[in-house]
Amino acid sequence: MEPAAGALVAAGALVPAKRAGASVVHLRAHWFIAARSRELRHAPVATTLFGTPIVLFRGKDGKAGALLDRCPHRNVPLSLGQVSDGTLRCPYHGWQFDTGGACTHIPSLPSERAGDVKARRAHALPTLEQQGFIWVYSAPSQDEQDPSTMPSSVPHRFATMGHRDYTTVVQSVVAPGTMYSTIENALDVPHTAFLHRGLFRAESRGLTITAKVRRTSDRVEAEYVGEPRPPGLIGRILSPSGGTVTHFDRFILPSIAQVEYSIGAENHILVDSVMTPVSDFVTRIYAVVSFRTRVPHFLVRPFVKPLALRVFQQDAFILAKQTETIRAFGGEQFASTEIDVLGRHIWRLLKQAERGDEHGGEESAEVELVV
Amino acid sequence: MEPAAGALVAAGALVPAKRAGASVVHLRAHWFIAARSRELRHAPVATTLFGTPIVLFRGKDGKAGALLDRCPHRNVPLSLGQVSDGTLRCPYHGWQFDTGGACTHIPSLPSERAGDVKARRAHALPTLEQQGFIWVYSAPSQDEQDPSTMPSSVPHRFATMGHRDYTTVVQSVVAPGTMYSTIENALDVPHTAFLHRGLFRAESRGLTITAKVRRTSDRVEAEYVGEPRPPGLIGRILSPSGGTVTHFDRFILPSIAQVEYSIGAENHILVDSVMTPVSDFVTRIYAVVSFRTRVPHFLVRPFVKPLALRVFQQDAFILAKQTETIRAFGGEQFASTEIDVLGRHIWRLLKQAERGDEHGGEESAEVELVV
Amino acid sequence: MEPAAGALVAAGALVPAKRAGASVVHLRAHWFIAARSRELRHAPVATTLFGTPIVLFRGKDGKAGALLDRCPHRNVPLSLGQVSDGTLRCPYHGWQFDTGGACTHIPSLPSERAGDVKARRAHALPTLEQQGFIWVYSAPSQDEQDPSTMPSSVPHRFATMGHRDYTTVVQSVVAPGTMYSTIENALDVPHTAFLHRGLFRAESRGLTITAKVRRTSDRVEAEYVGEPRPPGLIGRILSPSGGTVTHFDRFILPSIAQVEYSIGAENHILVDSVMTPVSDFVTRIYAVVSFRTRVPHFLVRPFVKPLALRVFQQDAFILAKQTETIRAFGGEQFASTEIDVLGRHIWRLLKQAERGDEHGGEESAEVELVV
């Protein structure tokens, strides 16, 4: 019963925290990726969303369903049970549930007392499977009597996935940071020249470029104008002969970080990083990298994954250390400059979404930074 | 100083908990088993009761005593010390205490300043040793000047232990659940057909039996009428030729779960599971299994322990997962049906005992369940 | 995601704690040792003071500096970065800081927007290096524009360190207890006869000695009169032929425990234990043992360190168990006697210092104890 160090340490005793808490948002009624399709076969899959345990399983028709991972009877995780004939059976007393959350069977209960009693229902979350991902809606089904009723919003689609000219690579990693910090990290330009030195860009060549920022009600976009061809390894692979660079960074609610590069007419790369808030300080990133290049894909592909994983590892390490520091000081205190181009816009959009405010004002700006 | 995951995770962010907390009761002034007699020899034994550290040791007369495991001087655990001439000596400054809690010696203190000063006393808990167990009362001795004054209540006795016709097996295991959940689990009939499938009972044979429930001020009992001979392995061992089954489940305050089976006139089995609330979510079970069978005991005995341990393992696993789930959701939300025969009565008796109300109303009911 | 036991256990459920909390003090604006000089070379050194992360590094002039270990930009620990040309560079975006906390460079930021902006400063703590130790002041520099402005108070000096007649041995150990408990332990006489039996003293010889206690505004001193030559191993080493013993124990604010022994005219030993409050329940002890003996130092020295470390180990074990017990009971309840000679004075001085009260009353007393 060794005490956890954290419980004993009075954090920040030397210098009082000016602001408590960290950039944590809880977004109800939005779509998040809960798993890849290929992960969900016959056995149920346990995961968490905003720290809440959920269980995925396939119903009789093969359709994926999601329930809170807690048997309403004695609160044992349903994910420990087995799927039988499209229902998930709790391992403790054998209560069975369909993907809509209805309790379809209770062993030992005389049949005249069985039935779809409200208190016996498991909470179901709307679920949609598309493009190889299982998306779950972060609020219980509105209509418990008909859990197949879907929300009016739909999950994000990956624009070039499956297109004949594109190769698409999917990778999932876990970042030990808040969803906000992980999104900002994915769209932050200055750190790439420093933390990822030699992978993305060389250290500064002293060129001043302009970022044109536009924020609307559900997204913010930065267009980088005047950017030279990346000189690093990725640049050399993408465009051996150079060419005009078009570069957009976008944040799309609730949790998509999108980076789009065009180099010349022939090279196009689109990276969608979809964040799943596993818990307040743990974010799963589903990265969908889609590209069209002038060099054959079979030559490019072997380089993309190892490079991307190296970048992820460096970011994950930094996010873990940031999380520890925020915790040790009892909250975060971020100082920003103009070149933290998208950070404050992402935070504003997330807070609007948390409040349920769908009509945040628009904003445009131009920022200069040296690359 | 890696942060504990639990400290960072905002549990239940997706769906607000309707009810915080879990089924935890703190019963003051009741008898609990602190150890088996054979565990306490010359060295002191450290344990906890409701999360409070206590130390057991034997006084000059060999009688077991219990003190709060905290030296009143500088709060070092007395259990780290040595017993010398019936007194327990703190390892830090050598203060010595008898089983009544009196400080009998302080090294370096001039003798004229020594003596039984109230502030120097360790808190003693009434202790009684019988039938191979050391029972401790969950409240400090009323009369600190005479800690040998015993409470008016007495510990539970095991009815058939030591009887010449009975074989008695004692086993102690730790369940990672609240005392309430552990008691309910021990007396819950429906889960045996499911969780312990093949050990106790086969899955349902579709027979409807009746449970006659009677609750009085200190206990609740369910008598199962119409129950067939158990078809599982235990059934075959107990009564190869069948016979009328009499089956009682009882909860007796503060923490005894009693299961009694008679099959025919010759077979009688009595299982007393006495729960010790080690802490809020850890319960130690002392199971005393006493049986009289028509087949010779030396044939039955080798089967009883392995089977019972397998059952305990399955229950312990489920209780651990239930505890984790309750914690992840920030509290429990139990939905019950009529066939959760004793649960609500056990909870009512425990809450009455926690309030010190000894005159709870009586209640009788009949419940049908399918086995 | 196994829950920490501590989070689930309702401590002290059996007996309510009469007093919550433990003897923790947070002393702002005092000097503490952060590291030994030899530990700080080119790489930055991370440590904590009252649980707050700080980073040490050497500036261009080789002088040691201390900053809060948190980049003001995105709160990554600066100690993960590298020192380059006397500035410390954050590993995330490459912001650079001098030992005064000024941000001297931000990569990618156009030069006309750079400069010593207040929000971009890291918090600097006054730092002073002397006698082989790096002392850090437990409050940020008053004058942020000129962090070289030093506080009016100065760190403790080791009186005989470096003197030609003295040998000095330095040892650093970590004690798992509050700063208060660790100081009291270092100056507590009665426990040496018991916990360290055979190392310092034999068990009592029944001699009554007198402690003359004098407390002034920044210290408390106990002079032990009538003490015989220590009979244990250390005594035999120090003074084979006996001699008059002079023994002083002193606590000097903020955290120095000083033990001074003279045996005869030729033997003099001075042990300064300087405590660094790493966090509420972790205290680092820098022990500076300085001695002048009639036997040659090269004969004494091999015995001093192993003996001292054995004593530290025994004390550290007890302090760890004391901390666990205080935590399990939800707070401490110390009962003291007259022979806890300095304890209450140390506590009073620490609480005065925490309040910033520099003029606590004086007090004198005499206490008898048996050794």
Structure tokens at C201: 């003293």
**pLDDT-derived band of residue C182, with 50, 70 and 90 as boundaries?**
very high
Yes or no, beta carbons of B9 and C1 under 8 Å apart: yes
The Cβ of residue C116 has, within 10 Å, a number of other Cβ atoms equal to 14
Nearest to C13 among B50, B68, B140 (CB): B50
**N- to C-terminal Cα separation, chain A:** 52
Mean pLDDT of A278-288: 95
Check CB contact under 8 Å for B108 and C12.
no
Nearest to C325 among B70, B106, B328 (CB): B70
**A280 Cβ contact partners less than 8 Å away, ≥ 6 residues apart:** A22, A24, A50, A51, A178, B8, B9, B10, B13
Q: What is the pLDDT of residue B116?
A: 81
A179: helix, strand or coil: helix
The pLDDT score that the predictor gives to residue C232 is: 65
Interface of C with A in 133-192 (CB under 8 A): 138-140
Q: Does B339 touch chain A (CB under 8 A)?
A: yes
Q: Which long-range contacts does C284-287 make (Cβ < 8 Å, 24+ apart)? A: C284/C33, C284/C172, C284/C173, C284/C174, C284/C175, C285/C172, C285/C173, C285/C174, C285/C175, C285/C182, C285/C186, C285/C312, C286/C33, C286/C36, C286/C133, C286/C170, C286/C171, C286/C172, C287/C170, C287/C171, C287/C172, C287/C173, C287/C312
A130 burial class (0-12, 13-18, 19+ CB within 10 angstroms)?
Answer: middle
CA distance A329 to chain C (A): 7
Please list, in sequence order, all residues whose beta carbon lies within 8 angstroms of the beta carbon of residue A1, skipping any fewer than 6 positions away.
Answer: C5, C6, C9, C324, C328
* Pairwise CA distance, residues B342 & B64, whole Å: 35
Give the SS3 label for residue B352. helix
Q: What is the pLDDT of residues C62-81, one digit of tens each?
A: 999 999 999 999 999 999 99
**CA–CA gap between residue A153 and residue A138 (Å, rounded):** 12
Mutation choice for B interface testing from A76, A179, A281, A324 by most B CBs within 10 A: A76
- Number of helices (H) and strands (E) in chain C: give both, helices first: 6, 19
Mutate to test the interface with B, among C8, C204, C332, C340 (most CBs of B within 10 A): C8
ipTM: 0.89
| Residue A131 tokens, joined | 């493009």
pLDDT at A295 over 70: yes
Residue C330 banded pLDDT, cuts 50, 70, 90: confident
Residue range C250-286, pLDDT digits in tens: 999 999 999 999 988 888 999 999 999 999 999 999 9
Contacts of B181 in chain A (CB under 8 A): 74
* Chains in contact with A via at least 3 Cβ–Cβ pairs below 8 Å: B, C
pLDDT number for residue B3: 31
Peptide bond into B240 cis (omega under 30): no
**Where do runs of H (alpha helix) occur along chain A?**
5-8, 179-187, 190-194, 233-238, 297-328, 343-355
The beta-carbon neighbor of A77 closest among B204, B325, B338 is B325
Above pLDDT 90, what percent of chain A?
Answer: 67
- Residue C167's φ and ψ, nearest 5 degrees, are -105, 135
Count of pairs with CB atoms under 8 A, one residue in A, one in C: 142
Q: What is the pLDDT of residue B9?
A: 31
Chain B contacts of A120, Cβ < 8 Å? 335, 337
Q: Which of B236, B297, B231, B239 is nearest to B264 (CA)?
A: B239
Chain B CA closest to residue C207: B108
A16 vs C223: CA distance, rounded Å: 40
Write out chain B residues lying below 8 Å of A113, CB-based.
337-338
With a CB-CB cutoff of 8 Å, which residues 22-61 of chain A face chain B?
Answer: 24, 26, 28, 48-54
Tell me whether residues A109 and B325 touch, CB distance under 8 A: no
Beta bridge partners of B270: B260, B290
Q: How far is A316 from chain C (nearest CA, A)?
A: 11
Best residue of C30, C71, C76 to probe chain A, by most A CBs closer than 10 Å: C76
Residues C226-242 have a mean pLDDT of 69
Quick one: pLDDT at residue B231? 64
Predicted pLDDT at C20: 63
Residue numbers in A near B2 (CB within 8 A): 324
Q: Do C93 and A3 touch (CB under 8 A)?
A: no
Distance from CA of C140 to the nearest CA of A (A): 8
Task: Check if A16 contacts C (Cβ < 8 Å).
Answer: no
CB < 8 Å to B370, chain A: 107-110
Q: How far apart are alpha carbons A27 and A30 in whole angstroms? A: 6
Give the CA radius of gyration of chain C: 23
Which residues of chain C are within 8 Å of residue A8 when distances are taken between CB atoms?
Answer: 279-282, 323, 327
As a whole number of angstroms, the distance between CA B78 and CA B119 comes to 16
Which residues touch C249 (CB under 8 Å, ≥6 apart)? Answer: C187, C189, C221, C222, C224, C257, C258, C259, C260, C341, C342
Q: Which of C178, C179, C167 has the alpha carbon at shortest distance from C30?
A: C179
pTM: 0.90
Confidence at residue C360, expressed as pLDDT on a 0 to 100 scale: 77
Placement of tokens 């009883």 in the chain:
B304
Amino acid at B344: R
Q: Which residue intervals of A272-342 are DSSP H helices?
A: 297-328
Question: A17 touching B, CB under 8 A?
Answer: no
Residue B140 to chain C, least CA–CA distance (Å): 8
> Are C1 and B76 an interchain contact pair (Cβ–Cβ within 8 Å)?
no
Residue A305 zone, left/alpha/beta (φ > 0; ψ -120 to 50; rest): alpha
Which pLDDT belongs to residue C304? 77
pLDDT tens string, chain B, 371 residues long: the values are 233 333 223 344 566 655 567 899 999 999 999 999 999 999 999 999 999 999 999 999 999 999 999 999 999 999 999 999 999 999 999 999 999 999 999 999 998 888 888 899 999 999 999 999 999 999 988 766 676 789 999 999 999 999 999 999 999 999 999 999 999 999 999 998 888 887 765 556 788 999 999 999 999 999 999 887 766 666 666 666 667 889 999 999 999 999 999 988 888 999 999 999 999 999 999 999 999 988 787 877 787 788 888 889 999 999 999 999 999 988 889 999 999 999 999 999 999 999 998 777 899 999 999 88
Confidence (pLDDT) at C245:
87
pLDDT digits (tens, 9 = 90+) for C94-119: 999 999 999 999 999 998 888 888 88
The alpha-carbon gap from B193 to the nearest alpha carbon of chain A, in Å, equals: 8
CB contact A107 to B (< 8 Å): yes
Structure tokens at B296: 């010779």
Distance CA B52, CA C80 (A): 42
Structural tokens at position B356: 């010190």
Indicate yes or no: CB of B52 within 8 angstroms of CB of C339. no
Q: Which of B92-101, C291-300, C353-362 has the highest mean predicted lDDT (pLDDT)? A: B92-101
CA distances from residue B369 to A282, B221, B263 in whole angstroms, order as listed? 45, 16, 20
* C54/A14 Cβ within 8 A: yes
For residue C120, CA distances in Å to A71, A203, A333, A335, C96 come to 51, 22, 11, 6, 10
Tokens 């309750």 found at: B326
Please report residues of C whose CB lies closer than 8 A to that of A15. Answer: 52, 68, 123, 140
3-state SS assignment for residue B289 = strand
Q: Of the candidates C329, C326, C367, C363, which has an alpha carbon nearest to the alpha carbon of residue C347?
A: C363
pLDDT of residue B10: 38
Neighbours of A168 (CB within 10 A): 17
> What part of B 265-324 touches C (C-beta under 8 Å)?
279-282, 323-324
Residue B304's DSSP bridge partners are none
Mean pLDDT, range A121-145, rounded to an integer: 91
Whether the pLDDT of residue C202 is over 90: the answer is no
DSSP class of residue A294 equals S
In this structure, of A5-14, A161-170, B140-149, the range with the lowest mean pLDDT score is A5-14
| Cβ–Cβ under 8 Å, residues A70 and A78 | yes
Chain-chain contact of B26 with C8 (C-beta, under 8 angstroms) = no
